[in-house]
Amino acid sequence: MASGFRGALVLPRVGKPEAGTVSNEPLPKELLIQHIAAGMKPRDKWKIGTEHEKFGFQHGSNARITYPQIEKVLQSLVSRFGWKPMEEEGRIIGVSLDGQSVTIEPGGQFELSGAPVDTIQKTCAEVNNHLYQVKTISEELGFGFMGSGFDPKWGLADIPLMPKERYKLMTGYMPKVGSMGLDMMRRTCTVQVNLDYESEADCIEKFQIGLALQPVANALFASSPFKEGKPTG
């Protein structure tokens, strides 16, 4: 599976701007410090949470699955396994159950955001149960799922954009700030981990260790040997 970080730190809003105005004032550093400090927990309350993404592909053509096909999987998770639907403008865009959620990334990648649990073994069981459910449903519908860091075959033009307003905005924004943003959105999958911390020093240590291990994790688990049908090297 892929290993990587594709997250964002969401800060609380400061004040309320007047209607029709946009503030260009930078957020104060103290706000960031307060936000991170608010997440501190005693050691006996620590949890681990993981996020697991995979590509869906159609049997036969190997084309990436479309939103109507994904919609059927999500609806089946609701009707057969008791998940609760999450909707945007009348369309189902995800499901939730017992602190977990299953959502779709911009190119239709299926993501399990796991519940906070207290052991790695519980994370493993959670992922295995999720894979059993989606594989059972998808095999009946004529497609499957694959854990790979990068889409091995299809170009951006071949991958449908999922019907979420946020993704439309991201599609217009990403080319303005770099050259790989659209690839990240629609042609990559990752596994992510979320850890608790008890103090500023503990947070710093875990962050530094995570950065140090990232190149090793990428080398071991990147799982991206092909791009558009050719070896990546």
pLDDT in tens, 208-224: 999 999 999 888 888 99
What is the pTM for the complete model shown? 0.84
pLDDT in tens, 119-178: 999 999 999 999 999 999 999 999 999 999 999 999 999 999 999 999 999 999 999 999
Nearest to 54 by CA among 127, 149, 185: 149
Fold of 45-231: Creatine Kinase; Chain A, domain 2 (3.30.590)
Listed in order, strand segments (DSSP E) in the chain are: 48-58, 84-88, 91-97, 100-104, 110-113, 143-146, 191-195, 226-227, 230-231
pLDDT in tens, 39-65: 999 999 999 999 999 999 999 999 999
